Structures are given as structure tokens and as C-alpha cells.
């Protein structure tokens, strides 16, 4: 009963957030060079405070970015910059505070702050802001150099993240953990693309790439390009949404203020980026989730391939430049394709109309927004799920995927199966909703493929990424099951992403299931579970199988087969990343 009450409260909070709120306010930002606003003559160098305004309703929210490079928490105060913010601010405004990069730099005595003194200065921001009637939000410094330990047990043992988190906890105010959020992004989503992080997010530019840096510049471990800072702003919004959902330490006043702030976050749209090649080996802009009107960059860095042009999802040419920037995100999900010589011809991708998503805030998942309106209802599970696997999910048609939905092999369960392209870069992404949280859920994947070598994949569930081994099943019509243990699932919309890691691509994927109740394709309804209703449909396992019977089924060419295939634990492999 206590858990049920908790989820009802969370639902009530977000029901309130979705209600139109006309409150106007200013977000004041205090920080260093990773946050500040830069002049046009150093573009694409950008701080997250420069772009955070794109993520909020401009009719309600203004941004005063007072961040300045080279400042620590101490020097920002000593130079009177905090006083300048307080003078300009009005009661009810917000104060975002991020420091730590320059504070830990003991080589520069003028700005260095000993670890023992760092909390004192951060506390001054909190106390002064509260006294003025501001809503203070602490933001841990984003990840640098690919290591979260820079601000914990690494350089100088400077635990800026931990100290800021403690102050936020003690003060009962929101804590935006940009440090861990960015670390997880760089080391999971982009783990196998280290050059992508330095070349496309940090400011490491080659000669001739941008007019402001004709000879190039190598600043690939500290400052960021526009797309890097846009990504950080997106992470900050996700963390704000997550605070509202799960931070039970907030004071009533802080939670009310956070509800108003989150209500002003604009809808975010998926910008899917792909190529017309099945074996592209160079770098390419990864899929993003930005609000309408925000800046976007499309970029490819081929190895040996010949780039021809960028096209949109209607196959209209938009640029012949490898780096195409200066255009704005549309108010709808969109797909851009990098066309290479010798690749497949462009095929139009169906899409919705602009502005069709509405004004509700989006998911807190690191993989972006969800839409519950566009789901093929035939993908929804309508049977009765087994108590061991309470949430079966048909995977035959992803929201975005590199591959095809096929039905040319026997034994699949739902509408078919998804056949990932034979490429180490092939992916399939699904919009999923969970009605409950779990730190140790169990997940299964039903799959098949013929061959002699594994087709391993990385599987991302919400914010966790797992390395999963997929051994051959002995044939395309022989289905098997692998498991992932201790999966973290939050009560929110999120994405499940399958990513191939071998040149053969991934296996044919039929379905997944969770052992917890209430996880389903976004736009469907949660499955009924055996024992929860008086009507139970028991489906018998086909002849020759020795595994237990399963309740609930999909229709397979006129025959009812178990929704969960072969529960062959000896073939299950899992590795938590």
C-alpha cells in the first residue's frame, strides 16, 4: 500500500506540472567558462548557460547568464558577481550555480579554493539566494577528460560533486548531478566513440572546419562546442525532471518552485541521424533530443567513404557540406540522412506534422522524449502475462531502427521480428513506459540467428547500458533467450536501445520481457498478469519443448505459442556495464 501511495503522489505531481502555468521568471546562472556565453567570433565554442534558454518557454522564462571564464566559487563572490545577480534578481527567480573546475586548479593560486573551503563558498550562494527569495539549484561540474574522478577521488582529491550534493541535501534544494550524468553519457552512450566526444562535443577542431578557427584548435578536454553544451543543457533539464519525480528530500517550498520550473520546459523532439550505408566506419552526429527552434549541427567525418549530401526525411537535399550548422530544430521528430556514394537510394520516412506533440514536459530518460500518440496497436500485448515475466513487449517494429521488420522465419511471437542490419553500427530504439521503479529488475530477450560466432549487443535500458552476449541459436527458426540481471528501471517514459557490436549486426529480435509489472510500449496498456484477473489463458508449449507452460500468447501464423519462448537459462548470458 505504501508503494501504491508513492506512485499516486508522483502521478499527482506530474498531473500538476502538465497544467498550464503563466508564471514568469528569470533563471540566473553563476559559473565558469564551461557555462558562460561566448561572442560569435569564437563559434562554435559555447557554454551551457548560453543555450539553456532554448529548453524553456521563452514567453515565461528569461535567462541571465552571469557565468564568466576563469572564476572559481571564491573569486566569483569576491569580484562582486554574486552581488550583481542579487541586485538584478526578483523574488521567485531561480539561481543555478556550477563551480569546481577552476576551484581545484592549485597551479593558479589566484583562483584556487582549498577543498576545505569549497563548501563555505557554495553555501554563500545558497544563503544569499534564499535571503533574496530566489530558488537555488546546485549543478555539479560536468565531466572533463572522460573521468568522473576529477571531482571525487582523482585530481587533488577534489570532491566538488560530493560537497555540492551534501549542501543541497542539507538545504533541501534540488541537486542537478551534471557530473555523473555527463560521465554516464560519455562512457556508455559514446563509450566506443572516444573521438566523437573530443571532436564533436569538446572543442577540438581541425583546420578549415570552422571559419573562426581556420588553423584548427586542440581544446578537446575542457571547453565545448555548441552541440556539447546543448547536450549538457538537455541533461540539466532531465535532472530537473528527475528531481521532481524522485527527490524526496526537497522542502515543500523547493518542490513547489521546481514544479513551476519544470512546467516551463519545452517539448523535446527526436532528431534521428543516419547514413545510407550499412557499413559506415566514420564519425556521424548521434541522435539528439532538442526543443523546436534550438540550434542543430549535422556532421560526418568519413574514413574512406565519399560524402555527397544531407537529406531530410522527405529526401529533400538540405546541404552538401560535411558540417552543416546554423539551422533550427523543427517542432516534430525528424530524420536526417548522410548520403554517400555507392549507398542505398533515399527512401522517404513517414513523419507527423509540426507541433503535434503538445506542451507537456518530456521524459527524464537520457535518451530523450517519448510520444504516446503514434503506436501501432497491434504491437500491444493483450494476453495474460506469466507471473515470472509480467511485462512482455513485442520488438518487431522499433520507433527508430537500422533494419527491417520481417516474418519469414517460423516461431516468432508477435507481429514478426526485427532484423538488424549486418553492421556494427546498427541499432533499434523503442519507446517504453514503466509504471513502477525497480533497482534490480530482470529482463529477457528472445532472439534467433544461425552461424558459428556470437552477435553480441549493447542494450540500453533507461540510463543503464549492459553488454550482452548472444550465442548462435542453431538456426533462424530456433529461438533462445538471454537475460540481463539487476536492471534499473524508473517510473517514467524511457527508451530501450539495442546496438550491434559485431560486423554481422545483431540477432533477429522477437521480444523482450521484464519480471516486474507495468512495463510496456509507450501508447499501449500494461499487460494483465496471471492471478490479477479471474480470466487466465494458459498457452501450451509446442511439442518437443520441455520448458514450463506460459500464460499469455501472441498469434503465430494461426497458432498460439508461449509469449516467452525457450526459458533456457544455460544459454543466458549477462554482463552489467
**What average pLDDT does this structure show over 533-561?**
33
pLDDT tens digit string along 154-194?
Answer: 445 789 999 999 999 999 999 999 999 998 888 877 877 77
* Per-residue pLDDT, 362: 33
How many angstroms separate the CA atoms of 27 and 342, rounded? 49
How many angstroms separate the CA atoms of 411 and 413, rounded? 6
Least confident of 208-222, 397-411, 444-458: 208-222
- Per-residue confidence band for 85, with pLDDT thresholds at 50, 70 and 90: very high
* Per-residue pLDDT, 22: 65
How many angstroms separate the CA atoms of 49 and 36, rounded? 6
How many angstroms separate the CA atoms of 540 and 217, rounded? 65
Asked if 82 and 50 touch (Cβ cutoff 8 Å), the reply is no
How many angstroms separate the CA atoms of 128 and 134, rounded? 9
pLDDT tens digit string along 130-155?
Answer: 999 999 999 999 987 554 444 544 44
DSSP per-residue string spanning 507-522: -EEEEEEESSSSEEET
- pLDDT over 90 for what percent of the chain? 65
pLDDT tens digit string along 258-278?
Answer: 999 999 999 999 999 999 999
Q: What share of the chain is helix, strand, coil (3-state, %, to 5)?
A: 25, 30, 45
pLDDT tens digit string along 226-241?
Answer: 999 999 999 999 999 9
Rg (CA), the chain: 25
Q: What is the mean pLDDT of the chain?
A: 83
Amino acid at each position: 500500500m505504501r508503494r501504491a501511495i508513492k506512485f499516486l503522489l508522483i502521478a499527482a505531481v506530474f498531473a500538476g506540472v502538465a497544467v498550464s502555468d503563466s508564471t514568469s521568471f528569470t533563471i540566473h546562472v553563476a559559473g565558469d567558462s564551461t557555462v558562460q556565453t561566448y561572442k560569435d567570433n569564437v563559434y562554435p565554442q559555447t557554454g551551457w548557460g548560453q543555450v539553456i534558454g532554448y529548453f524553456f518557454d521563452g514567453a515565461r522564462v528569461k535567462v541571465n547568464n552571469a557565468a564568466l571564464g576563469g572564476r572559481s566559487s571564491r573569486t566569483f563572490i569576491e569580484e562582486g558577481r554574486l552581488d550583481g545577480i542579487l541586485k538584478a534578481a526578483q523574488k521567485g527567480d531561480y539561481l543555478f550555480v556550477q563551480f569546481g573546475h577552476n576551484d581545484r586548479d592549485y597551479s593558479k593560486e589566484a583562483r584556487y579554493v582549498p577543498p576545505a573551503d569549497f563548501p563555505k563558498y557554495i553555501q554563500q550562494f545558497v544563503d544569499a539566494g534564499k535571503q533574496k527569495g530566489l530558488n537555488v539549484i546546485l549543478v555539479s561540474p560536468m565531466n572533463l577528460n572522460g573521468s568522473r574522478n576529477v571531482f571525487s577521488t582523482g585530481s587533488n582529491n577534489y570532491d566538488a560533486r560530493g560537497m555540492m550534493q551534501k549542501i543541497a541535501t542539507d538545504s533541501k534544494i534540488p541537486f542537478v548531478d551534471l557530473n555523473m550524468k555527463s560521465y554516464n553519457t560519455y562512457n556508455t552512450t559514446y563509450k566506443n566513440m572516444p573521438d566523437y566526444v573530443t571532436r564533436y562535443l569538446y572543442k577540438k577542431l581541425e583546420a578549415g572546419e570552422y571559419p573562426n578557427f581556420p588553423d584548427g584548435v586542440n581544446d578537446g578536454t575542457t571547453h565545448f562546442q555548441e552541440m556539447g553544451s546543448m547536450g549538457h543543457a538537455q541533461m540539466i533539464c532531465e535532472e530537473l525532471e528527475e528531481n521532481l519525480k524522485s527527490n524526496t528530500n526537497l522542502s515543500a517550498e523547493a518542490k513547489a518552485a521546481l514544479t513551476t520550473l519544470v512546467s516551463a520546459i519545452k517539448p523535446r523532439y527526436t532528431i534521428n541521424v543516419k547514413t545510407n550505408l550499412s557499413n559506415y566506419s566514420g564519425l556521424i552526429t548521434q541522435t539528439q533530443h532538442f526543443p523546436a527552434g534550438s540550434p542543430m549541427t549535422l556532421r560526418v567525418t568519413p574514413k574512406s567513404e565519399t560524402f555527397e549530401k544531407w537529406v531530410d526525411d522527405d529526401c529533400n537535399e538540405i546541404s552538401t557540406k560535411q558540417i552543416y550548422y546554423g539551422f533550427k530544430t523543427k517542432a516534430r521528430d525528424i530524420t536526417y540522412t548522410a548520403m554517400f556514394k555507392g549507398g542505398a537510394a533515399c527512401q522517404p520516412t513517414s513523419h507527423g506534422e509540426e507541433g503535434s506533440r503538445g506542451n507537456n514536459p518530456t521524459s527524464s530518460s537520457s535518451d530523450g522524449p517519448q510520444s504516446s500518440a503514434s503506436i501501432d496497436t497491434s504491437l500491444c500485448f493483450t494476453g495474460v502475462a506469466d507471473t515470472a515475466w509480467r511485462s512482455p513487449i513485442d520488438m518487431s517494429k522499433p520507433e527508430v531502427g537500422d533494419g527491417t521488420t520481417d516474418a519469414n522465419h517460423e516461431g516468432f511471437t508477435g507481429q514478426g521480428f526485427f532484423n538488424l542490419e549486418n553492421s556494427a553500427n546498427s541499432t533499434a530504439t523503442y519507446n517504453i513506459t514503466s509504471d513502477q521503479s525497480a533497482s534490480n529488475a530482470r529482463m529477457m530477450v528472445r532472439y534467433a540467428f544461425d552461424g558459428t560466432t556470437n552477435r553480441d549487443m549493447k542494450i540500453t535500458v533507461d540510463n543503464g547500458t549492459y553488454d550482452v552476449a548472444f550465442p548462435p541459436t542453431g538456426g533462424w527458426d530456433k529461438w533462445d533467450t538471454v537475460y540481463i540481471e539487476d536492471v534499473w528501471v524508473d517510473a517514467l517514459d524511457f527508451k530501450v536501445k539495442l546496438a550491434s557490436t559485431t560486423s554481422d549486426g545483431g540477432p533477429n529480435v522477437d521480444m523482450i520481457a521484464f519480471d516486474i509489472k507495468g512495463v510496456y510500449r509507450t501508447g499501449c496498456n500494461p499487460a494483465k498478469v496471471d492471478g490479477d484477473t479471474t480470466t487466465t489463458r494458459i498457452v501450451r508449449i509446442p511439442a518437443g519443448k520441455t520448458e514450463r507452460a506460459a500464460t499469455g500468447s501472441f498469434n503465430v501464423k494461426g497458432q498460439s505459442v508461449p509469449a516467452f519462448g525457450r526459458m533456457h537459462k544455460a544459454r543466458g548470458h549477462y554482463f552489467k556495464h
